[in-house]
């Protein structure tokens, strides 16, 4: 298998809240990046260096990336050394993750794959998706994950409004279908990630992300319950939180700077 230092060109599929900042960071850190989106308006906006989404610092970064010549947007994927899939994985009415966008993205790169390529799934996905869903689609190329194709999962852990800060500063977890896959993916993220990069297997990485989201959801619900009870008792939830005893590890953030404005009470177990 080719060594990971041979990664020069990266194709990022999905130029939304996750894919676009990632593509711009990769481009400003020396990679030749082709950003791919099925929405022609997004492709056009990115090529004009205009941000289609509001995110602090992204406009400046995108301009630098496009002006350097290292980032171009396209409607279709093209051959590359590595592919990063950052497409939506919404929850369906049946409360299941809709993996159809991942299937479409994987299908679109399947004919382009050559031995030694690396495919990284960034989309939030149910545990087992990389191994049991993505790898079989990619296998239709005739390449075998773990033998002549590197496949890894690297979930995103960012909050909207702080995406660039968090993409750079957060610790990352990278799960490979093989150790070599995880290490190859690490070599890419290490170009711009200042946090720790932890390597594991793909399913564990998916489970870590799922548990982080679950933990956060439970804490948001807890904070909202607290707010309702405090309102009934005519006391201040903020005062309760400020006076919380050690061990009552609920962090409550108000609406405002760096936070989605609709959030009234958000409890975070970890900041």
Whether the Cβ atoms of residue 10 and residue 32 lie closer than 8 Å to each other: yes
Report how far residue 32's alpha carbon sits from residue 12's, in angstroms, rounded to the nearest whole number: 11
Number of alpha carbons in the 13 Å side-chain half-sphere of residue 123: 30
Nearer to ligand NAD, 16 or 79 (CB): 16
Q: How far is the CB of 160 from ligand NAD (least distance, A)?
A: 5
Nearer to ligand NAD, 16 or 146 (CB): 16
Report how far residue 32's alpha carbon sits from residue 46's, in angstroms, rounded to the nearest whole number: 15
Report how far residue 81's alpha carbon sits from residue 242's, in angstroms, rounded to the nearest whole number: 51
Q: How far is the CB of 147 from ligand NAD (least distance, A)?
A: 26
Q: How far is the CB of 260 from ligand NAD (least distance, A)?
A: 10
Q: How far is the CB of 22 from ligand NAD (least distance, A)?
A: 9
Q: Judging by beta carbons within 10 Å of its beta carbon (0-12, 13-18, 19+), is residue 136 exposed, middle or buried?
A: exposed
Q: DSSP secondary-structure letter at 4?
A: G
Nearer to ligand NAD, 37 or 201 (CB): 37
Q: What is the phi/psi pair of residue 10, to 5°? A: -125, 135
The residues binding ligand NAD (CB under 6 A) are 13-19, 36-39, 42, 86-89, 101, 104-105, 108, 123-124, 156, 158, 160
Tokens of 122: 């960034």
Position with the least CB separation from ligand NAD = 16
Q: Within 10 Å of residue 212's Cβ, how many Cβ atoms?
A: 16
Nearer to ligand NAD, 79 or 160 (CB): 160
Q: How far is the CB of 148 from ligand NAD (least distance, A)?
A: 24
Nearer to ligand NAD, 17 or 189 (CB): 17
Nearer to ligand NAD, 17 or 31 (CB): 17
Question: In angstroms, what CA-CA distances link 15 with 5, 67, 220, 226, 247?
Answer: 25, 17, 28, 38, 41
Nearer to ligand NAD, 4 or 123 (CB): 123
Q: How far is the CB of 104 from ligand NAD (least distance, A)?
A: 4
Report how far residue 171's alpha carbon sits from residue 186's, in angstroms, rounded to the nearest whole number: 12
Q: How far is the CB of 246 from ligand NAD (least distance, A)?
A: 31
Whether the Cβ atoms of residue 209 and residue 124 lie closer than 8 Å to each other: yes
């Amino acid at each position: 298998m080719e060594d990971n230092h041979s990664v020069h060109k990266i194709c990022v599929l999905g130029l939304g809240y996750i894919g676009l900042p990632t593509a711009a960071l990769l481009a400003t850190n020396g990679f030749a990046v082709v950003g791919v989106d099925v929405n022609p308006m997004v492709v056009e906006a990115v090529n004009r260096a205009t941000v289609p989404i509001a995110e602090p610092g992204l406009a400046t970064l995108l301009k630098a990336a496009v002006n350097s010549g290292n980032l171009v947007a396209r409607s279709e994927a093209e051959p590359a050394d590595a592919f990063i899939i950052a497409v939506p994985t919404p929850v369906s009415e049946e409360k299941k993750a809709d993996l159809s966008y991942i299937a479409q993205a994987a299908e679109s790169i399947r004919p382009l794959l050559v031995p030694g390529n690396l495919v990284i799934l960034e989309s939030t996905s149910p545990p087992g998706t990389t191994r049991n869903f993505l790898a079989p689609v990619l296998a239709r190329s005739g390449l075998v994950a773990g033998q002549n194709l590197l496949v890894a999962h690297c979930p995103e852990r960012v909050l909207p409004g702080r995406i660039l800060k968090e993409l750079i500063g957060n610790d990352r977890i990278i799960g490979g279908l093989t150790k070599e896959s995880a290490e190859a993916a690490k070599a890419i993220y290490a170009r711009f990630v200042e946090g720790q990069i932890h390597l594991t297997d793909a399913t564990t990485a998916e489970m870590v992300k799922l548990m982080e989201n679950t933990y956060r959801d439970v804490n948001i619900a807890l904070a909202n319950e607290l707010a309702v009870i405090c309102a009934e008792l005519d006391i201040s939830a903020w005062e309760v939180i400020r006076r919380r005893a050690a061990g009552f590890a609920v962090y409550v953030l108000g609406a405002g700077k760096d936070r989605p404005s609709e959030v009234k009470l958000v409890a975070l177990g970890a900041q």
